[in-house]
Structure 1
Amino acid sequence: MERVDRFAEILGFFPEQRLIYFKKFFGDADQGSEAFQYVEENEILYTMCFNPSYCWIICSVLKSHFMTPEEERGAAPRTVTELFVMFLHNILTNHRREAKDQREILVKLGKMAYYGVVNRTLVFYYKFEMSTFGLQPILSSPFLSGFLKEILQRESTLEHTTYTFYHLTLQEFMAACSFYLDPSGGIEELLEKLDSCKDGRYEILTRFLTGLARYSVFKTLGGVMGEFKMKTAKQILEWVKKKAEEALRGEDKSEALRVCQWLYETQNKKLIRDAIGKELKMDFNKMTLSPLDCAVLGSVISCCGELEELNLSDTNFTSECIRRLAPGLICCRRVDLSHCGLTSTCCSALSLALSSPHSQLTELNLSNNNNMKDSGVDQLCEGLRSENCKLEKLKCLRSDVLQLPYQTVMQLVRTLSMVPL
C-alpha cells in the first residue's frame, strides 16, 4: 500500500469561541465579557487568543486584574512582555512563602530555560538538566509547580521523570529574565549569538529581552524578584536601535518586520522615533502580513508621528488587517495599497483613516483592487468628503467599474489623479 501524505491545520479558537472561553474561565459572564472587550480593543492580545494556551494565560492574568477593585488596579497588559510580566508577578506573589531565595531559584530556572532555547530542548531530565542547574533539591516545592510540570516518560523498559515548562513561551520568557537577574549572565556573548544566528531560534527570546528593558517592568517585577540590572537594559536597547536602523534601511523585508516587532515590545517612543525617523520609506511589498504583523506596524509607525512612504502593494489584506494598520496609515504621507485584494469592508477602515483629524495622507494608490464594489467606494467617498481629509492624489484602475463613484470624488478633492487603464 502506498503512503498517503496528509496534513492537519490546527486552527484554534474561532472568534465567537474566544468569548465563550472567557465567560467560562471567569465564571461570571459580565466579568468575562468586560475582560474580553478589553482584549478585543488590544490588537496584540486579541490575535493571540486564537491559541488556547495563550487564551488560558491571558485569562489568568486578566481575571486577577479585573477582580481587583477598580481604584486599586494597575494598567492592564498591552504587549506580550507585559502579559508574561503580570503572569510571573501573580505566580511569585501567590507562592511567596513556599520557597526561600526565590531570586536564586529563578536564576537557575532561567539558565535552564536558556539552555533549552539554545539547544532546542523542551523536555528536561531529572538526572541531567535538573541536576546540572541545581534544581533537584527543590523539585518538591510548590513554587516550581507554577513553572514546570512533571511527565513520566517510558523508553524501552526504563521510566524517566522529566519536566517541561507549561508553555514554550514561558520558557523563553524565563530565559530572558535570567539575563536581567544575573550580573554574570554574559549579555555581550548573547548579543553576539543573536547577531550570528539565522535559524530563528532566538526570535521570541529577543522580543522578551527588548520588552523587559523598561522601567515599568523593573518596577513591577523588582518588588518580588529583586533588582533588575539597568546596565543590561541599556546594552539591549542600544543593540536594538542599531539593528533597527540597519534593517529598516536595508533590503531584507523580513528582517525589517522582525525589528518592528522588537521595537513594539519596548514601548519606547523615543527609541522608535530615533530608529525610524520621519523621512524613511518602509517597503513591505509582496510580504505576507498577518493581523498581528499589521497591529505591530500600525503601532510602531504611529509612534513616529509622520512617515514619508509605506509600500504595502501586492499584499492580500483582510478588513482586520487594515483596521489594525490604521493608526500607522494616518501618519504616512504616501501609501501604496495596489494589488491588495481590498474588499468593501476594508474600505470602511480606510475611510476612517482618511477622515481622521490626525491624517497625514496626501497620496494613496488603490490600483487593481477589483473587489471593493460600489458599497466600498461609497464608504471611501465619505472619508474623502471629510474636512479632515488631506488627500491630493488618488490612483486607481478599472475606471469602467469605478467611474460613477469617482465622478463625485473628482468634485470633492482638490487634486485627483486618475491612472488610465
Structure 2
Amino acid sequence: MSALHHQPTTSDPAAVQSNLQNMFSSVKEGWLGKHHEEVSCCMDPELFITEEWDQREVTGSETETSKPVKVSDMFQHLSRRGNSCRTVVTKGSAGIGKSFLVQKFILDWAEKRACQEFHLVFPFDARQLCLWRGERFSLTELIHTCVPGMPSSGITEEMLNDIFTRETRNDKSEFKLLFIIDGLDQNLLKLDFISRTNTSDVIKSTRVEVLLTNLITKKLLPSACLWITTHSAEPNQIPPECVDMVTELRGFSDLQKEEYFRKRFSDELKASRLISHIKTSQRIHIMCYIPAFCWITAAVLEDALETKERGEFPSTLTEMYTEFLMVQINHTKKKYHPKKCIQAIKSLAKLAFHQLLKDNKVFTEEDLNSCGLNVRTASAYADWFTEIFKQFSGKRTDNYQKMVFCFSHFSIQKFLAAFHVITSLLSDNKNVMPVSWMTVDNWLLCFSRTSTTKVHKKALKTALKTPNGELDLFLRFIMGLSLQTNQLLLHDLLTPTRSTTRSNQKTIKYIKRKISGSKSPQQMIVMFHCLNELRDDSVVEEIQKSLRSGGLSADKLSPAQWSALIVILMSYEKHLDQFDLKKYSSSDEVLLQLLPVLKVSSKALLTGCKLSERSLEVLSLVLSSHSSSLKELDLSNSDLQDSGVKLLSVGLQSPNCKLETLK
C-alpha cells in the first residue's frame, strides 16, 4: 500500500481530498476485479438523459429523444426543474456495466483525471449495505464500515463528524461531497419514503435504511450530491421530486465489443477468430452490447476454441449459458470431487429458484437455511465456483462480522433457477412452479405424472403476471432448456426420463394462441422470445402478422420493444436474405424502426410503398454504410419525386455501396 499523506485537518479541504484519493488508489486492487478492469479499460461510456423509468430486460437500442451526457458532466447539468443537479439516478439492465462505471469514475477521481470539484467521494455497494440491514449506525460509522480502506485512510470518524456537522450548519458548503449508492435495486434494503421517521443529525445512530432514505430525501446533508445506480425498474419507489436527473447506460457499441475481446485476449489470432464467430451469429453479436454477456461469451468461446470444431460454437442465448455452466463445472472438477461439484450446482440452482420467486438477489443465512444450505457450505461453494457465486463479508469496529451471498450476475441466477425447474421435471417428475390457489385439479397434480407442457404453461402465466419483466429471461431459459440439444450438453447434471419434443410442439401451439388473443405488446414480445428459444421458425411470420394486423401498433411500441423485436428477427439468418416491407406493414414508421434488419439483408423489396424524404435519406445512409449487406433494392411503383432521387443518389455514389441491382 502506498504511503498516505500526513494527517489532514478538517480546515483544509484539499488535504482531506488528497488523503481520500490516495486511499482509493492504494486499495483499488481490492475493489477493482479482473473483469471490472477489463471492461473499464475499454469503456468510455456515454449516458443518456431520459425521463423514462420503465425498460424491460434487454434493449440494445438508442432512442433519438434522449440526450447524451458524459459521466464527468452529470452534476454540471441543470435538472428538469431548472436547478443544479443534486441527485442523479443511472439505470440500466442487469450486467450493462453500472458497477464498472462507478468504479471507473472513482478511479478517475482518485487519480485526478476527472471530477476534481468533489472534495470527498463515498461509494457504497448495496450488497455490502445488505449485511447491515436493520443495524444502527451513524453516517460516519457506516462509511468506516462499508467503504474499503477507510479505517486506515487517516480520515477519522471524528474528522468526518466535524465536516458533516459544519456542512449541515452552513449555507455555503466548504466541502463538496458526493455519495454513491451502487445497485439500489438490491431489495433487501426496504426504503420507507412515507414514514416520518427521519433525522438531520449526522452524529445520531439510526438504521441503515433510514440513513439512506434521509440522504435521498435531503433530510441529511442536503447540499451533498448523490449518485444512485439501479436496474431499469424504479428502485423502491423513490419520490420523483427527490430525483433531479435520470440517466441510462446502454452498454457497448459495436466497436467497443471488438475492443473488449481484443483486450481480453492477448493472442491476436484468437481474438480475431472469436470476433469473427460472434459476427456470424446475429443473436450473440447483438447480446454482446451487455458487458457481462461479453465476459460469459469470452469464457465459453475460449474453451470452445480448444475443444471444439468451428461449426460447433454455441449460437443461442440458452446454449451460451449452458456451455458457460459446463465450463465452470469442468474447471472445478479438476480440483474437487465430480459428484460434489454436481451436488453443489444442484443446491445452488434450488437456491436460485426459490430466491428468484421472492425477488431476492442477495441472500442471508436465513435464506440459505430455507433452501437446505448453511453459511459454511455456501462459503465453500463460493470458493469452488468463483465465477458463479459470490460472498460478501463485513466487520464492524467492534469485530462483529456478518456475511451475505449472491450470484455473480442476475442472469446466472435466472439460468440456474430455470435449470432447477427442468431438472425437477425430467429427473424427479415434479412441477416446482408455485400454485397460487388450491383446486381439486391442482391437488391431483401433486400425485400425478406432470408434463413439460404443464410446466411451460405455469411458467408462462407466472412470468407474464410479474411487473417490470423480472421473470422474462427466466422463462426464456426454461423454454431453451426444454430442447434436447441443450439437455445433452448437461448430461452430467440431467438424467431425462422422457423426450420433450412432443410437449414442446404443444407449447408452441399454445403460445401462438396466446399471442393472437393478447392485447399487450410487451407480453406478445415475451412470447415471441419463447418461440425463439424453442427454435420455432414461424416466429418471424408471427411478428410480421402482428405488425400487419395492428396487433402490434407500430406507433405505440417503445424503443425497447422495437429493439426486442429486432433481436428476434435478426437471430434467424435465413430470413434475412430478403426484406419485404409489405410483410410487416407499408408504414414509413415501420421501415425506420426495422432499419437494422434491412441493413443486414441482401435484398430489399420496397415496392409500392409511400416513402417519405426522411425514409429515403436514411435508406441512402444505409447504402453508403460499410456494414450494409444490401445487393438488390426494388423500389418499383414508388413515387420518389426528384427530391427523393437526389437523396438516394448520394448513397448510390458512395464507394461503400454494394448494390448490384436497382429497380
State the TM-score, normalized to the length of structure 2. Answer: 0.48
Equivalents in 1 of 2:493, 2:351: separation in Å? 18
Equivalent of 2:384, from 123, 133, 143? 143
**Greater length-normalized contact order (CA 8 Å, ≥ 6 residues apart):** 2
Which residue of the partner structure matches residue 225 of structure 1? 493
Equivalent of 1:194, from 460, 463, 477? 460
- CA positional deviation for 1:282: 5.8
Equivalents in 2 of 1:290, 1:400: separation in Å? 32
Distance 1:203 1:342, change over 3 A: closer
Which residue of the partner structure matches residue 86 of structure 1? 323
Equivalents in 1 of 2:269, 2:459: separation in Å? 47
Distance 1:51 1:334, change over 3 A: closer
- CA positional deviation for 1:333: 4.5
Equivalents in 2 of 1:83, 1:226: separation in Å? 17
Which residue of the partner structure matches residue 616 of structure 2? 372
C-alpha contact 1:329 1:335 (8 A) present in aligned 2 = no
Which residue of the partner structure matches residue 133 of structure 1? 371
Distance 1:370 1:74, change over 3 A: closer
- CA positional deviation for 1:215: 1.5
Number of residues of Structure 1 aligned to a counterpart in Structure 2: 368
- CA positional deviation for 1:83: 0.6
Structure having the higher helix fraction is 1
Matched position secondary structure for 1:161? strand
Matched position secondary structure for 1:149? strand
Which residue of the partner structure matches residue 73 of structure 2? none
1:349 pairs with 2:599:
yes
- CA positional deviation for 1:229: 5.4
1:253 pairs with 2:253:
no
Which residue of the partner structure matches residue 510 of structure 2? 242
Equivalents in 1 of 2:324, 2:433: separation in Å? 24
C-alpha contact 2:584 2:590 (8 A) present in aligned 1 = no
Equivalents in 1 of 2:315, 2:247: separation in Å? 32
Which residue of the partner structure matches residue 46 of structure 1? 285
1:262 pairs with 2:501:
no
Structure 1, residues 359-412: CA drift from partner, whole Å, max 9, x if none?
xx58552433425339829959xx9995x96x765476xx352267999xxxx8
Structure 1, residues 247-289: CA drift from partner, whole Å, max 9, x if none?
14544332222211111112244x759x949977464412234
Name the aligned partner's letter for residue 408 of structure 2. Y
Which residue of the partner structure matches residue 393 of structure 2? 152
Equivalents in 1 of 2:615, 2:639: separation in Å? 16
Structure 1, residues 209-265: CA drift from partner, whole Å, max 9, x if none?
11111111111111x213145466755653343123321454433222221111111
Equivalents in 2 of 1:69, 1:256: separation in Å? 37
Which residue of the partner structure matches residue 332 of structure 2? 95
Structure 1, residues 14-63: CA drift from partner, whole Å, max 9, x if none?
33222222122222112112101211232222222222211111111111
Name the aligned partner's letter for residue 24 of structure 1. K
Which structure is larger by alpha-carbon Rg, 1 or 2?
2
Which residue of the partner structure matches residue 313 of structure 1? none
Which residue of the partner structure matches residue 27 of structure 1? 266
1:170 pairs with 2:438:
no
Matched position secondary structure for 2:355? helix
Distance 1:193 1:374, change over 3 A: closer
- The CA RMSD measured in Å over matched residues stands at 4.0
- CA positional deviation for 1:338: 0.7
Once the two structures are superposed, the pairs formed by residues 380-395 of structure 1 within 5 Å of their partners are 393-394=637-638
C-alpha contact 1:61 1:87 (8 A) present in aligned 2 = yes
Name the aligned partner's letter for residue 204 of structure 1. L
Which residue of the partner structure matches residue 358 of structure 1? none
Once the two structures are superposed, the pairs formed by residues 308-323 of structure 1 within 5 Å of their partners are none
Equivalents in 2 of 1:265, 1:18: separation in Å? 24
Name the aligned partner's letter for residue 331 of structure 2. N
C-alpha contact 1:62 1:76 (8 A) present in aligned 2 = yes
C-alpha contact 2:418 2:478 (8 A) present in aligned 1 = yes
Unaligned runs of 5+ in 1: 306-325, 355-360, 414-421
Greater displacement, 276-285 / 41-50: 276-285
